[in-house]
């Protein structure tokens, strides 16, 4: 849990403003990403692996569908674990603190910076290759395509939902529940509520807000 002092200052600004993080203009430029960029990169990936799953393999439709759902579920678990144990890991070294700020700390200081709400391709693309390699080793070629399609779809839903919780005004009860949960993570206690696209794992691991 956060200390009382930490709760008094959970953010620097909630305006849609963006600070400079790198001296290099090129690096600083690529640290900012429009929310549509992940859609342009990964929708083709989902479609390709989805096509391979349902039309390019010997799996029955219902089998491929179940594996896609398994990939989606595994993404939600991965999202929780990355957010809780990687993005909210607090290193002691100055270099570690700098890396942490670049990776996630800046988002908590400037939560409504519309250009730093989705993962930049410099991070997401290497991770995409890494997870594909891991799935290939563990699942084999036939099961990897549908599992990976679901996993990448889950990532896309996460990225776009994350942007929407900060900048969209969708009135559905489902979305408002997700938004309320994530806003509490930012403005009430950053050591709780790590799920963004789902709070299921917060319930499982007892990091869900009680009210």
Confidence category of residue 164, pLDDT binned at 50, 70, 90: very high
User: Within a 10 A sphere around the Cβ of 71, how many other Cβ atoms?
Assistant: 26
Q: What is the mean pLDDT of residues 1-9?
A: 46
How distant, in Å, are the alpha carbons of 120, 121, 131, 157 from that of 98? 17, 20, 26, 28
Intra-chain end-to-end CA distance of the chain, in Å: 16
Model pTM above 0.95? no
Q: What is d(CA 35, CA 121) in angstroms, rounded to the nearest whole number?
A: 11
Which of these ranges, 10-14, 158-162, 170-174, has the smallest mean pLDDT?
10-14
Give the 3-state secondary structure percentages of the chain, helix then strand then coil, rounded to 5.
65, 0, 35
Q: What is d(CA 75, CA 194) in angstroms, rounded to the nearest whole number?
A: 14
Question: Residue 4's pLDDT is what?
Answer: 41
Question: Dihedral, CA atoms, 26, 40, 154, 170, nearest 10 degrees?
Answer: 100
Q: What is the mean pLDDT of residues 165-176?
A: 94
Q: pLDDT tens for residues 196-206?
A: 999 999 999 99
User: Within a 10 A sphere around the Cβ of 73, how many other Cβ atoms?
Assistant: 15
pLDDT higher than threshold 80 for residue 2? no
């Amino acid at each position: 849990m956060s200390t009382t002092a930490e709760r008094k200052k959970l953010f620097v600004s909630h305006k849609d403003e963006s600070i400079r993080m790198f001296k290099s203009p090129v690096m600083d430029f690529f640290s900012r990403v429009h929310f549509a960029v992940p859609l342009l990169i990964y929708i083709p990936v989902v479609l390709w692996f989805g096509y391979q799953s349902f039309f390019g393999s010997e799996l029955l439709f219902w089998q491929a569908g179940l594996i896609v759902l398994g990939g989606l579920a595994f993404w939600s678990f991965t999202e929780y674990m990355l957010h809780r144990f990687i993005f909210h890991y607090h290193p002691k070294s100055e270099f570690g603190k700098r890396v942490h700020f670049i990776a996630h700390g800046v988002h908590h200081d400037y939560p409504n910076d519309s250009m730093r709400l989705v993962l930049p391709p410099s991070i997401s693309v290497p991770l995409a290759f890494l997870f594909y390699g891991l799935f290939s080793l563990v699942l084999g070629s036939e099961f990897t395509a549908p599992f990976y399609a679901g996993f990448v779809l889950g990532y896309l839903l996460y990225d776009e939902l994350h942007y929407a919780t900060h900048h969209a005004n969708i009135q559905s009860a489902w979305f408002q529940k997700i938004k309320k949960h994530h806003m509490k993570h930012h403005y009430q206690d950053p050591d709780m509520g790590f799920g963004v696209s789902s709070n299921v794992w917060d319930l499982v691991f007892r990091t869900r807000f009680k009210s």
